[in-house]
């Protein structure tokens, strides 16, 4: 087994966790902080799709608009509006990608700023 492959045991655990989370959400008993929910989502993304989390040849972790929306919980319309208004800079054209991409570290910085200011309103 190579690094990044999911064992049958891990896959079963992920399915059980997903079903448990889904049931808790349906019942309204899910009690995760925003940070914990983000950490769980990142972990699941890394385990289920390790190919998406490898750095590009330049060593940078790039994400496209769809991945960013999933990552920070924006709708595509909100994300595009923030890019259009300059709140989020325009994506970069990077060799090996067919659409504009953003550095994950830049998106993390934006998300931290956004969510910290959003709570103060």
Distances 24 to 21, 60, 64 between C-alpha atoms, Å:
5, 36, 30
**Has residue 42 been placed in a domain?**
no
Domain that holds residue 115: 55-120
**Has residue 114 been placed in a domain?**
yes
Integer Cα distance of 24 and 37 in angstroms: 13
Task: Say if residues 93 and 102 touch (Cβ distance below 8 Å).
Answer: no
Look up the CATH number of the domain holding residue 74.
Answer: 1.10.1660.10
Listed ranges 7-11, 22-26, 101-105, 115-119; the one with the highest mean pLDDT: 101-105
User: 54 pLDDT band (50/70/90 cuts)?
Assistant: low
User: 1 pLDDT band (50/70/90 cuts)?
Assistant: very low
Instruction: Supply the pLDDT for residue 119.
Output: 58
Q: For the packed helices 104-120 and 65-72, what is the interaxial angle rounded to 10 degrees?
A: 40
**Has residue 6 been placed in a domain?**
no
**Has residue 4 been placed in a domain?**
no
Tally of domains in the chain: 1
**Has residue 36 been placed in a domain?**
no
Q: What is the mean pLDDT of residues 70-87?
A: 92
% pLDDT > 90, the chain: 23
pTM exceeds 0.75: no
**Has residue 64 been placed in a domain?**
yes
Instruction: Supply the pLDDT for residue 18.
Output: 72
Q: Work out the mean pLDDT of the chain and round it to a whole number.
A: 78
**Has residue 29 been placed in a domain?**
no
Q: What is the mean pLDDT of residues 60-80?
A: 90
**Has residue 2 been placed in a domain?**
no
Distances 54 to 17, 23, 104, 111 between C-alpha atoms, Å:
24, 32, 12, 21
């Amino acid at each position: 087994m190579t690094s990044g492959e999911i064992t049958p045991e891990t896959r079963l655990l992920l399915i059980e966790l997903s079903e448990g989370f889904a049931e808790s959400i349906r019942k309204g008993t899910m009690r995760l902080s925003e940070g914990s929910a983000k950490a769980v989502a990142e972990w699941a993304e890394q385990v289920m799709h390790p190919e998406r989390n490898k750095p590009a040849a330049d060593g940078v972790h790039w994400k496209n608009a769809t991945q960013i929306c999933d990552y920070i919980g924006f709708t595509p319309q909100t994300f595009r509006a923030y890019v259009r208004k300059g709140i989020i800079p325009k994506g970069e054209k990077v060799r090996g990608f067919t659409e504009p991409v953003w550095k994950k570290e830049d998106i993390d910085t934006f998300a931290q700023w956004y969510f910290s200011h959003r709570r103060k309103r």
